[in-house]
Chain A
Amino acid sequence: MVDDIVFWGLAVVAVASGIAVFRVDSMARATYALAVSFVAVGLALLLFGLDYLGVVVVLMMVMEMAIMAIYMIMFMGMNPALMPMSMVHGKRTSLAVAGLTFAVLAAGILLVDWPERRGAPAADLTLAVGRAVMGGKMLVMMTVSAVLFATIVSALVLALPRGRYDDDPADEAAS
């Protein structure tokens, strides 16, 4: 009963803030509306008993949106109140893609038979996740994380060969 109330409450928050992402007129509000939506989804994961995954989703999404807000405003620089802007573009294509995806997923939910449960959840789900990631899939995870990190660093180096405070004669003269 309590679980049902919590689930529906979180579901409503997730969907409503998801809609708000496209309805608000500022990058900051859109970014943090998205963050709220993700936090609600992360907390809903706690209802599955997936404590670690749920809390990590909250952690990662808040961190990501905090950083993303910087980039959003950097590239779309404007003050929300003075210069409201639309948060949508490519409306027709997006609507078509979104509608189609929703239809396919909804049809899948309604038409595919739910499988019978096989096996039982592990006693300690956090430990099971850790074993799965760091055991059998360890090589993949280590490779992927190094490649991802190298990509981020090289993209930054390409975009900004000289930092704001590096090699600046004026700065060196001052210090």
Chain B
Amino acid sequence: MTGSSLTQVSAAWVPLAAVLLLAVAAAGAAFDGAVAARAEGRPWQHGAGVPVAETARLLRQRRRRTVAADRPLELVGTGGLVVVALLMVVVVPLGRWTLGDLPVGIVWFNAMDVVVWALVWLAGWGPNSAHALVGGYRFLAQALAYELPLMFAITAPAVAAGSLAVGDVVAAQEGLWFAVWMPVAFLVFCGAVLAFSVRAPFSAPAGTDLAGGVLADSSGIDRWLLLAGRWALMAAGSAFAVAVFLGGGHGPLLPAWLWSLVKTAALLAALVWVRRRLPTVRPDRLLPFGWVVVLPLVLLQLLVVAVVVVGRG
């Protein structure tokens, strides 16, 4: 089950990968808190501790129940986000090491981001609350806007590398990152990462106009899992973008695994900054934009990549 130059490590490393993913996600959340504190004119140190304080608060908070909740489906939705983020990073290499060098790693990542559709909707359906349910429906409406551009965006690196294995895609970027000569695909993928982690401009499913949407009735550990799941998805998406667009572990001086981490942290920080700068866009306005503007653009990008690949022979 190997298709490339990567070393597939044993499954015993899975817990370490999970800790690493959650650490990157926590760093992202801390950076977000620091940026928010600065924006409010407070020192950044006040904001950086917010994730820790929030974790302590939610772990001690007693769970509130809604009447006639569909508890099993709610649990799947809330607990699933972190699990899906972990399943995403299974195919993402850290330098030369990878947990699972699937021959179809890119399709695997795509399948996992589709599972987010189901999970966010279930998290909205479960509590039997109007706000949460509307949030769940909003997410699916947005999903129709971002999923096809996302699919074609990650098709471009696969076409350029001539392989669906993430390891081959990384190897094909030695010397020139794919983000450099397929910038549209890269930007569209970054937008999709914001979308499947429910961040502005795609944050309407958890919007304040809905009293928090899918988050509205969550409390205690359930709420923590939802929030942590969103950060973990953002971190996993950044890590995947680094592998398929930003050259993975390629880079001078530093060891490959450190390059993977540095690039992932940098991209995650950029996404946090972007999501702080952009307003939430109504899902019904995102749909025409996604289909009329973004989809043709990313298809043109794919055409350019295909022509270049054919031209190179």
Q: Give the interface of A toward B (CB within 8 A).
A: 26, 28-29, 32, 35, 51-52, 55-56, 58-59, 62-63, 65-67, 69-70, 79-82, 124, 126, 164-165
Taking a contact as CB atoms closer than 8 A, the residue among B68, B76, B118, B128 that contacts A66 in the complex is B118
Contact A56 B111, beta carbon cutoff 8 Å: yes
Q: Give the interface of B toward A (CB within 8 A).
A: 68-70, 72-73, 76, 102-104, 107-108, 110-111, 114-115, 117-118, 121-122, 125, 128, 137, 140, 143, 147, 164, 284
Report the Cα distance A81→B128, complex, angstroms.
9
User: From residue A164, how far is it (CB to closest CB) to chain B in Å?
Assistant: 7
User: From residue B133, how far is it (CB to closest CB) to chain A in Å?
Assistant: 9
Contact A67 B140, beta carbon cutoff 8 Å: yes
Report the Cα distance A79→B137, complex, angstroms.
15
Report the Cα distance A29→B76, complex, angstroms.
11
With A81-B68, A81-B69, A81-B128 already in contact, the answer to whether A126 and B114 are too (CB < 8 A) is no
In the complex formed, the residue of B with least CB distance to A163 is: B284
Contact B118 A32, beta carbon cutoff 8 Å: yes
Contact A69 B128, beta carbon cutoff 8 Å: no
Show 8 A/B contacts (Cβ-Cβ < 8 Å), sorted by A.
A32-B122, A52-B103, A52-B104, A58-B111, A62-B118, A66-B114, A67-B140, A79-B68
Report the Cα distance A155→B275, complex, angstroms.
37
Contact A59 B111, beta carbon cutoff 8 Å: yes
> B73 to chain A: which residues have CB within 8 Å?
28-29, 32
Known: A62-B115, A81-B70. 19 other contacts (CB 8 A): A26-B70, A28-B122, A32-B122, A35-B118, A51-B103, A51-B104, A52-B103, A52-B104, A55-B107, A55-B111, A62-B118, A66-B114, A66-B117, A66-B143, A69-B121, A70-B137, A70-B140, A79-B68, A80-B70
In the complex formed, the residue of A with least CB distance to B137 is: A70
Report the Cα distance A67→B144, complex, angstroms.
9
> B114 to chain A: which residues have CB within 8 Å?
59, 62-63, 66
Report the Cα distance A58→B102, complex, angstroms.
15
Contact B70 A82, beta carbon cutoff 8 Å: no
Contact B140 A126, beta carbon cutoff 8 Å: no
Taking a contact as CB atoms closer than 8 A, the residue among B72, B104, B117 that contacts A63 in the complex is B117
User: From residue A84, how far is it (CB to closest CB) to chain B in Å?
Assistant: 11
